[in-house]
Each structure stands twice: as C-alpha cells, then as structure tokens.
Structure 1
Amino acid sequence: MSTWPAEAPIPNAASVENRLHSGESLLWSGRPDPSKHFTAKDAFLIPFTVLWAGFAIFWEASVFGMTRGGRGPGIVFILFGAVFVAVGLYMVIGRFFVKAAQKRKTYYWITTERAIITKDNGSWEDVILGQSPVRTRARGTHGDVSFVAGGGPLGIDIWENTGMPSFASRGGFGFYDVKDPQPMFDALRRR
C-alpha cells in the first residue's frame, strides 16, 4: 500500500476495509493531485471554450447596444445571452475550480479484486478488475489509470478529468492525476 503524506491520515480506510469481500485485501491507496489542472484534452477544450465565451460576450454586448434607448430585441435576448455567458465562463475558468474541489474529496483504492473510488460524502464506486481493459498513462510525475468498460456512448472519454459535466448516464471510471503513479501501476500488476 502506498504511503500518504504524514499530515493527511488515510480517510475512509476503516469503511473501505469493512466493505472488502472475504479474502480481498487492500494493495494501494492514493488520491488525485488537486494542483494538476490541465490534461491533453485541454489543447482542444481551451480554444473551444474561449471561442464560446467570446461569442457569448459579443452577443451580450451587441444586445445591450441595440436595447439602449428602449429599442431593440429586449430583455428576452439579454437573458438568453446571459445563460451562454455563464456557461462560457464556467467552461473557461470555473471547471478548473470545480475539478480541484472534487479532487480534494476523492480517494482511490486498489484491492486484490477491485478498483474503488470513494468521496468525502460517503459515495462509493467500484469496478471489478479483470472484467475491463485497463489503460495506464504516465506523464512526467503524474499518472492515470482508466478502466475501459464496453458499451458506453461513443466519445464519452472526451469529458473524463476535464471538469466539464458529462450528460451520459455513466461516465468513465478512472484514477486521474495521481502523483508518483508507479506504486499504483505496481499494485495493478500485483493483483
């Protein structure tokens, strides 16, 4: 099992150990690094979101300009544009704050049978190892593991680990932005 920083006791360890199956043992535990904000997907998402937000702000400025003096499209167009400005600002900036906040509440576990994700709110999600292909990626000092399940919507993984909401009924399952990922990779091979 990996070691956690001395200042951060392993949270939820007892609740995870209490839910292990007979003969199942914990091999590794870790968590995502909240200071890691960007992924390779941002090479596409950042320009797209800047264009979205820019157009929405242009729309609002145009509508405000046309409604000055009591003429023009009116309040409906202002409110319509405001929704797109809010979405644009979330996509450009807000998603990084949401992603960091979610990471601070997330814990990863690998056992001899399962990969488990727990959150501070008590939520629990797991996948049985060996039933899905496992894809590992190491980038510098961080690494990811994706447990690829078949039958999901095409392209669902584009939203994984971006901070963008996915409207699919079930998103991807993975451990993202793990600092010093080698012990995690070793635990996957050991099981």
Structure 2
Amino acid sequence: MSDSLTGQLLPHERVLWEGKPGTGIILRPVEAFLIPFSLLWGGFALFWNVSVWAIDGNGADLPFKLFGLPFLVAGLYITVGRFWLDMRIRGNLAYLVTDRRILICKRGRSSTSKSIDIKRLPALEFDERSDGTGTIRFGASGNWFNGGNFGIWQPTFDQTPQFIRIADVRAVYELIQKQAA
C-alpha cells in the first residue's frame, strides 16, 4: 500500500482489501442511447463548423462562426473525450475496505477521498459480469436523466460512491457484507 493511502487510515485501522478499478473503456447499457446521440451531435457540430469556416464564400460574420465552436467542443467530449477522461480518472483511483470503513481515494493533483462507515452502509448494489469483474455501488442508483447526475456520461462522475469494475467483485461484496454485520 502506498504512503498516500496509509495516511488515510485511522489509528489501529486494518486494511482487509485493497483494489483498483478496471482499465479500458467501460461500455454500459445506457451507451446504446449515448453513443448514437453523441455521434449525431458531434457530426452536426462538425458539419456546422466546416460549413461556416471552410466555405468562406457565404460571408458569415465572426460571431456567427464562433457560435458553433462550443458545440464542437461538447461534441468532441461526448463522442470520445468522456471515455479518455474516465480512463484517466480511474487510473488514479484506489479502493480500500478496512475493518471500519470503505475508502475511495483519488490521487493526483487534486487528491480526494470518500469514506463510508462500514457499520452504516447505505443500500448496496452489486453488479457482476461473466468474467468475475463488477461494480459495487454504495447507495441506490439514481435517475440518470435528472439534472444533478453527470454520471450518465461517465461512471467516475456518478454522485453515488462505487467500486467500479473491480476484480473478484463477489468476494469483495461478501467481505463488505461480513464486516457490516
């Protein structure tokens, strides 16, 4: 365990499990909606900007040309940038189960940690894939389409604390259940 994680522990607290989220692109069921939407958005934004900037014969004013740039940037983010950012954030996450708490630690320039008392856990949601990896959510799933949850676009922005795509998720879930009892 790294020194930055050791500094998160309380006196006499024991680490029972330590892990990291899975790497690579995570595709969730909601992607069946998000990917086509992002391709349409990004495609139209690209078409708009190419039409306005490259075909300069239409005499468009500068404010009219600049109008489409934020839509192009948003299109780039929702089409490919969100996957890259999500992978980068997950690369800086570490998960701990101790005899007292659940810890989710983010390392990097803006280090943060979330701590949940293991004896006062909210509802646990457990999702296991056929390869044994999976996600444990510490709280009920919210509505992805409400205004306060940017987690629809990438799992690391979800407001509900979670262990994302960890290996041997069932064993970790059972360990947490045992400690919570």
Q: TM-score, normalised by structure 2?
A: 0.80
Aligned to 2:93: 106
Cα distance in structure 1, aligned partners of 2:56 and 2:172: 60
* Cα displacement (A) at 1:151: 9.7
Other-structure match for 2:66: 79
Mapping of residues 45-56 of structure 1, within 5 Å: 45-56=34-45
1:132 aligns with 2:122: yes
Q: Deviations over 1:42-62 (max 9, x none)?
A: 122111111111121122133
Distance verdict in 2 for CA 1:133–1:124, change over 3 Å: same
> What is residue 135 of structure 2 aligned with on the other side?
144
CA–CA distance in 2 between the matches of 1:154 and 1:128?
Answer: 29
Aligned 1:1-191 pairs, distance under 5 A: 10-11=1-2, 12-16=4-8, 19-20=9-10, 24-64=13-53, 68-69=56-57, 71-72=59-60, 74-121=61-108, 122-129=111-118, 130-141=120-131, 142-148=133-139, 155=146, 159=151, 162=154, 171-191=159-179
Unaligned segments of structure 1, at least 5 residues = 1-9
Runs (5+) with no aligned partner, structure 2: none
Residues 76, 157 of structure 1: alpha-carbon distance in 2 compared, 3 angstrom cutoff: closer
Alignment check: 8 A CA contact 1:106 1:119 kept:
yes
AA partner of residue 135 (structure 1): E
Cα drift, residue 138 of structure 1: 0.6
Q: Residue by residue, what CA displacement relative to the aligned partner does 1:120-173 show, whole Å, maximum 9, x if unpaired?
A: 23421112233411111111222101111699997456715726857xxxx221
**Which of 1 and 2 has higher RCO (CA within 8 Å, sep 6+)?**
1
Query: Residues 135 and 161 (structure 1 numbering): CA distance in 2 closer, same or farther, change over 3 Å?
Result: farther
SS of corresponding position for 1:40? coil
Asked if the contact 1:52/1:88 (under 8 Å) is kept, the reply is yes
- Are the counterparts in 1 of residues 144 and 151 from structure 2 also a CA contact under 8 Å? no
SS in 2 for 1:59: helix
Give the distance between the partners of 2:35 and 2:144, measured in 1 at CA.
Answer: 23
What is the number of residues matched between the two proteins?
173
TM-score, L = length of structure 1? 0.76
For 1:3, the equivalent position in structure 2 comes to none
Task: Rate the CA distance shift 1:165–1:115 in 2: closer, same or farther, 3 A.
Answer: closer
Distance 1:190 1:117, change over 3 A: same
Deviations 1:10-40 (A, max 9, x none): 3234223xx3265x43221101012243222
Change (3 A) 1:44 1:87: same
Gap change, CA 1:165 and 1:64, over 3 Å in 2:
farther
State the shift of 1:69 in Å.
3.1
Q: What is the RMSD of the two structures over their aligned residues, measured on CA atoms?
A: 2.9
